[in-house]
Amino acid sequence: MSGRLTVRQHVLRALGIVFVGLGFLGAFLPLLPTTPFLLLALACFARSSPAIHDWLINHRILGPYIVDWERDRSIPLAAKATSIIMMSASFAWLTLATNAPAIAIWMTGAILICVAVYIVTRPTSRH
């Protein structure tokens, strides 16, 4: 293959960059997941840029989490605790500090409970 990128590769790289950005935001926003977006980015980069793919896998901070998830769908205990704490704090803020309609509070609570159960029931990794 020549050194020029195809349109497909450009699109996949752009999507990969967007997914890395969303994954980064997900580290701070409780309803936005980190790992699924990083895995999507990884898949995009695997088909468009082996160098970026390898960089992501070998990244000092992100790499171990991606490898753990791909290997055995595990989440580090600290990440589990942080996500539960952040979801609880967000829900408390929504409930106590806003004038959100009751239906929004109940729906958000239901979603957060489902997400929390999913996170807690995943295997715990060593990182």
Tokens of 125: 């990794």
For residue 63, pLDDT beyond 60 = yes
Predicted pLDDT at 32: 73
**CA 61 to CA 23: how far, in whole Å?**
13
Q: Cβ distance 67 to 57 under 8 Å?
A: yes
pTM, two decimal places: 0.69
DSSP at 59: -
**CA 8 to CA 71: how far, in whole Å?**
28
What confidence tens digit (pLDDT) does each residue in 2-54 have?
568 899 999 999 999 999 999 888 877 766 777 778 888 988 998 999 899 99
**Domain boundaries along the sequence of the chain:** 1-72, 75-127
94: confidence class by pLDDT, cuts 50, 70, 90: very high
